[in-house]
Structure 1
Amino acid sequence: MSTPVRVLLAEDEPLIRAGVRAILASDPGIEVVAEAEDGAEAVELARRHRPDVAVLDIRMPRMDGLAAAAELRRLLPEVAVVILTTFGEDAYIAEAIDAGATGFLLKSGDPRELTTGIRAAADGAAYLSPRVAKRVIDTMGRSVRTAQAADRVAVLTPREREVLALIGEGISNAEIARRLNLVEGTVKTHVSAILTRLQVRNRVQAAILAYEAGMVE
């Protein structure tokens, strides 16, 4: 039996936190190891429990989700960060990506998206809730025309472009390795090279660039 994905949940609204907890409790492959009511508490609990994934609300007292995500990236870069968002918080998307988030989930979305997104984040993939994906791409890509994006990815090798296209699909290193008949370590090397060559911070920005370059449907 595989080890459950260990999750830290940070949400200051008790009803929403209880609802998210209930959804996660229904999945035997996910274990909520800690809950926080604000970002500062989330960082402290993450240091204590070392979860695989931290699910953070954006708006929280003391330290908001963006600041908590940045602090987790600094202190615990191995912890994947998933942001809980609403349609009214588009302005925060770019900041969340810069802060190190690799997943975006809507509070009003399908409960299955929550577990899917957490599993994807734990597996090293970028996950965008389908209903928010276009907004993320639009927000990050308004200033980048398709031709400019194509010029940027032209610096990649053919194999790196293949890997980038699959990053754009939001799949994990393990799945990329299976599709391309590579070992996972080689995929990790390619991903690191892609981020460096494209001068992007993380997989979400790389995925957006893949969309802008027309590499993903």
Structure 2
Amino acid sequence: MNLFVLTGAGCSAESGLGTFRDTDGVWARFDPMKLATPEGFAADPDLVQAFYNARRRNTRAASPNAAHFALARLEAALERRGGSLFLCTQNIDDLHERAGSHNVVHMHGELLRARCLQCGAASPWQDDIGGDDVCPACRAAGTLRPHVVWFGEMPLYMHEIHDALEEADLFVAIGTSGSVYPAAGFVAAARQLGIRTCELNLDPSDNAGYFDERFYGPASETVPAWAGRLTAGPDAVV
């Protein structure tokens, strides 16, 4: 069985990392045009760096929750049986990796990397990014930005994502709003390919009607329960 899993902010919310589009989410409290666009960074790089420096510190302090660990266990179970789990995340934290997942694609970038505006290299970066910091790849100074996809920029790894979707037997969206494209369009693409679809979310997403199965509640509860049904009992498909 080849499984395609898309995760969003709801997967990390119980680890203390805020969602974005809820009524009390990040973009309800901060202006995304000032903090998450190339134009905002050009206008006030210090403000943008300070915002992402704070988020980087929050990410380092957070720990994976039961949903992250359940997906890592499911990946291992699939691999033992000759299958695969392609984990495409909209999240820029590293909680999937810290929980033990290996096949993770960050379509919106990674907060714990810094990208050089001069050479384009994305280097591991745990600390704050300062205006005079040097790129580890090309040694240029003052050229680093967060390695995150801002509004108006193209998501990463789209070819790999579409290839994995075409090979999938089941598409599952976990903790996503269903309102951010192109990720919100993956479920429609899966249906066109004849792939069964499943949603695990706190509440119905904007595109909930596209899913064949829907399970609602906290990710730390719904994801382990769903993964357990796939891997245990007489009706197990893994």
- Is this a same-fold pair by TM over 0.5? no
Bigger RCO (CA 8 Å, 6+ sep):
2
Tell me which structure has the larger Cα radius of gyration: 2
| Greater percentage in helix | 1
Return the TM-score normalized by structure 1.
0.38
Return the TM-score normalized by structure 2.
0.35
| Greater percentage in strand | 2
